Amino acid sequence: MNLKELAHKLGISQTTVSRALNGYPEVSEATRRKVREAAEVHNYRPSLRAKSLATGRSMAIAHVVPVSSKHEMVNPIFADFIAGAGEEYARAGYELLLSVVADSDHDRMYRDLVTRKAVDGLVVQAPTLTDNRIPLLADLGIPFVVHGRSSGVVSAYNWLDVNNRRAFERATGLLLDLGHRRIALLNGLATLDFAHRRSDGYKRALLERSITIDPELIAHDEMTENYGYEVARRMLAQPNPPTAFLVSSIIPAIGVRRAITDAGLEFGREVSIVIHDDDLSYFRNAGDVPLFTAVRSSVREAGQRAAAMLLEIIRRREEGIADEAPMQILMEAELTIGQSTGPRALSRARAQN
Amino acid sequence: MNLKELAHKLGISQTTVSRALNGYPEVSEATRRKVREAAEVHNYRPSLRAKSLATGRSMAIAHVVPVSSKHEMVNPIFADFIAGAGEEYARAGYELLLSVVADSDHDRMYRDLVTRKAVDGLVVQAPTLTDNRIPLLADLGIPFVVHGRSSGVVSAYNWLDVNNRRAFERATGLLLDLGHRRIALLNGLATLDFAHRRSDGYKRALLERSITIDPELIAHDEMTENYGYEVARRMLAQPNPPTAFLVSSIIPAIGVRRAITDAGLEFGREVSIVIHDDDLSYFRNAGDVPLFTAVRSSVREAGQRAAAMLLEIIRRREEGIADEAPMQILMEAELTIGQSTGPRALSRARAQN
DNA sequence: GATGAATATCAAAGCGCTTTGAAAATTCAA
DNA sequence: TTGAATTTTCAAAGCGCTTTGATATTCATC
């Protein structure tokens, strides 16, 4: 059933049917009701393709999720981010186009999506230190929002980010307050911008207390469980092992915990952990006293808000509202104390048994 | 730059340009080359919307991923499944449309996607025991592939599944061979079909050895880390605790492991675990001797093969090849021994210390 | 009852591509 | 050299919708 047939069936022009269904005012309530009923009865839905060709809008947003070219991995936190964004898109009648693409092909992918007019807007995930996707998209002139920031990009753009520096500065501060001096940082991939902001926060807190930074205690990699395990195991076997770990995600933190217990040490007593908690739905760090002490920021909420921001940008552009200052949201992480942290005094005492 | 402009620029008709770019034979090599070059220079890409309207194909596949309505969770294994499928789609020039929708809205979503002609095919995820999406899609007459099966659906349909029954029968058999008699099963949501097949395999293995099934040792829920932890903790505190756990995913298994060590028991010695391993990229159960003994089947490969199957079905339909028997692939899981299993004799001896 | 404004409907053009059926250009055989 | 066969190109129709500009209808006003 298409528009033509429906109009014919009703003995009304296509114009009127189209207007009736799209809520235009220049159609009488009587006909509007008749049209609505007929559409319902015959289960009529306008063809998306025809509609988007006619309107010039495709009512779709693309998320290009990077797949690590080395390891062919796709980060599970995207699942929650996309769930949040998808919710918002569904509400507004947008579709979500997902491309899983090796980092190296991102440029071509974005260019393609834009020049083929596949989508009305884009979300950029996991920006690197100087991410050339940002100038590229700005150049292509399509609305986009970055989840995170790219320190090396000077031009202004729309982004939504967590205050990673502050979060990690606070987390480090907490461990310092507990007396820890050898604090390991298990960070994400060194190419990613957020990892640098986290390092910055960590280092700033240490330097403020005049503690020299030991590069041996800093690791960068894909945030898998196994990475957490292997690095923690190695570090704990050192002559002067860390008494605390700051871990960029709950997933490697699970590995760190495993390494701690494997080494016969007591988690949260002899060795402390603070994590960045994305509030992943399958890894809720919940409970009265959650397992991990954490700086928490829901990635699902980030997805939802990034999507809302993008839709707002698109709306404004369509209404011809002049491009004002770019939209930028900085979310603060909240610190919650769990079972994974304790004073260093105790841990040293125990370790000396 | 659109087709008309490009054709005008070349002083050639749109027809010829279109044919040249789409590789039709009725165009001379000389003009084809000229057209290709010009397209390259002016960065011309045909508009997806116009193309799909003209051809009737939208070159897109939808995956509707269920979000648990109770808990608003989205399963991280979809990330890997979709990565596998996305790879295949990209290769064939298809887009992936992702809808994250509460179970209750699936019907409407599917109906919408089809009647609005948004996609050429669909993948059905996480089928329930008698999943009404299958007859619905068959009725709508659109190509689709089910990841998993639905026991209550009698009509034939295209699916790709792991032999869950066999896998769990083997896994249970292994634990029985090791002398375990109290074996707990931590399954997925009871509404999902795969959970029943796994239960079946488990029960069959027990009954074959005349071991009565203790419903107290069977749990069903969303496969989170916390679920594994809580259930295992409760079971281990029982008067007659299990000596082994069969766990439906590596994620709750991590929780089970936590409960075991929390209880002061030795993982892999006093209490054994066998998992179903989806080979998730961020939770690789790898190494010379992997952490968990597992029946493994890569969900990423499943995604890739399901996508390939769907594209083949679409291809056949387009070429007017008569609808033959539906396509069905049953993948066998492979059993690998890890550090998480040991004989019961030892575990009992230890437990009695 | 005539006039103008407001309201309701319509026919037709256009979105950017593919594809059909016809025409033009080229090749080949006689 | 000519006519048929073949190859190459083209103009125009059509995909299913929205939207423009025009027309028909209703209503209030003088």
A28 CA from C1 C1′ (Å): 28
DSSP letter string over B211-238?
A: PPP-GGGEEE----HHHHHHHHHHHHTS
Residue A335: strand pairing partners: A295
Across the interface, do B281 and A74 touch by the CB < 8 Å criterion?
Answer: yes
Res A331: pLDDT = 98
pLDDT by residue for chain B (353 residues), tens digit each? Answer: 899 999 999 999 999 999 999 999 888 999 999 999 999 999 999 999 999 999 999 999 999 998 877 778 899 999 999 999 999 999 999 999 999 998 888 999 999 999 999 999 999 999 999 999 999 999 999 999 999 999 999 999 999 999 999 999 999 999 999 999 999 999 999 999 999 999 999 999 999 999 999 999 999 999 999 999 999 999 999 999 999 999 999 999 999 999 999 999 999 999 999 999 999 999 999 888 999 999 999 999 999 999 999 999 999 998 877 777 899 999 999 999 999 999 885 444 444 43
Q: How far apart are the first and last CA of chain A?
A: 80
Question: Under an 8 A CB cutoff, do B96 and A95 touch?
Answer: no
- Cβ of A222 and B282 within 8 Å? yes
B249: nearest CA partner in chain A? A282
Quote the longest CA-to-CA distance of chain B: 92
What does the pLDDT read at residue A188?
97
How high is the pLDDT of residue B71? 77
Pick A117's closest partner by Cβ from B49, B90, B280.
B49
Nearest to B101 among A90, A223, A258 (CB): A90
Q: Mean pLDDT for each 10-residue chunk of chain A (353 residues)?
A: 92 93 89 93 94 94 87 90 95 95 90 95 96 95 97 97 98 97 97 98 97 97 96 96 97 96 92 97 92 97 98 90 87 97 63 41
Contact assignment for B100 to A96 by CB distance below 8 Å: yes
Determine the distance in angstroms separating the CA of B200 from the nearest CA of chain A, rounded to an integer: 26
CA separation for the pair A103, A67 (Å, rounded)? 6
Give the best residue of B43, B49, B256 to mutate against chain A (max A CB count within 10 A). Answer: B49
Query: How far is A118 from A139, CA to CA, in rounded Å?
Result: 17
Residue with tokens 């559409």: A39
Contact criterion met (CB < 8 Å) for A82 and B100:
yes
Check CB contact under 8 Å for B223 and A101: no
Residue B236 in contact with residue B263, Cβ under 8 Å?
yes
All domains of chain B, ordered by start, with CATH? 3-46 (1.10.260.40), 60-161+300-331 (3.40.50.2300), 164-297+335-351 (3.40.50.2300)
Residues 9-68 of A with CB under 7 A from strand C: 11-16, 19, 25-28, 30-31, 50, 53-54, 56
Look up the protein residue whose alpha carbon has the minimum distance to the C1' of D7.
B26
pLDDT tens sequence across A151-188: 999 999 999 999 999 999 999 999 999 999 999 999 99
CB B219 within 8 Å of CB B185: yes
* Chain B CB contacts of A86 below 8 Å: 98-100
| Set of chain B residues whose Cβ sits within 8 Å of the Cβ of A251 | 282-283
Report, in ranges, which bases of strand D sit under 7 Å from a protein C-beta: 7-12, 14-21
A118 CB neighbours in chain B (<8 A) are: 48-49, 95
Instruction: Encode A54-81: b = buried (16+ Cβ within 10 Å), e = exposed.
Output: eeebbbbbbbbbbbbeeeebbbbbbbbb
Residue B176 CA, chain-centre distance (Å), reads: 29
- Could you tell me the distance in Å between the CA of residue B22 and the C1' of nucleotide D8? 16
The pLDDT, as a whole number, for residue A182 is 96
